[in-house]
Amino acid sequence: MRRNDRGFSLLEALAGMLLLALCFGALMHAAGASMALGLRSEGYTQASLWASGLLDRVFVADFPTEGIHRGDFDDEYHWTMQVSSPPEEAAVRTSTPLHLYRVELTVEWKEGGQPVSARFVTLRTVSTRPADTPAPAVQGDA
């Protein structure tokens, strides 16, 4: 029997095992990072759903006054909404009495003891409210 017909040497086997261990370690690192991103995205998804519900309600059921409003969705998620209107020179003149509002909503919560926030900004147009109708406050104002 010739020497080349015996199989792999000990050095070749060790090199193969080392390469396999490195590949396995890289795969485990990628899987761990994927799980961490999945957990983090859960918080952002929940914040997005809370924000969407609040922004859908604003100017439909509630007519907020300009300024800063605060509230809580639950024990974990809190919101701050700033309602403002653009300067008069930036307003578009139309035959229908419309008013443009800029709504900036920030949702805050904690992940792993660290504060996290997501910011949502939108523009809303509404028919001009009669002057004698008082503006009710957004539910949850503090």
Residue 9, CA atoms < 13 Å, CB-side half-sphere? 5
Torsion of CA 121, 142, 130, 84, to 10 degrees: -30
Compute the average pLDDT of residues 87-91. Answer: 66
Number of folded domains in the chain?
A: 1
Q: Is 137 part of any domain?
A: no
60 lies in some domain: yes
Q: Is residue 90 part of a domain?
A: yes
- Average pLDDT value over all residues in the chain: 81
Read off the DSSP letter of residue 62.
Answer: B
Identify the pLDDT of residue 64: 72
Domain enclosing residue 82, as ranges: 7-127
Cβ-defined contacts of 57-61 (< 8 Å, 24+): 58/83, 58/103, 58/124, 58/138, 59/101, 59/124, 59/126
Could you give phi then psi for residue 62, rounded to 5 degrees? Answer: -115, 140
pLDDT the model gives residue 130? 46
Give the pLDDT mean for 101-114.
Answer: 90
Residues 24-44 have a mean pLDDT of 87
User: Would residue 141 count as lying in a domain?
Assistant: no
Q: Is residue 85 part of a domain?
A: yes
Bridge partner residues of 82 (DSSP): 68, 104
Rounded to an integer, the average pLDDT of 14-29 is 92
Give the residue carrying structure tokens 């805050």: 108
Asked if residue 80 belongs to a domain, the reply is: yes
Strands, E assignment, 1-142: 67-72, 78-84, 98-111, 114-127
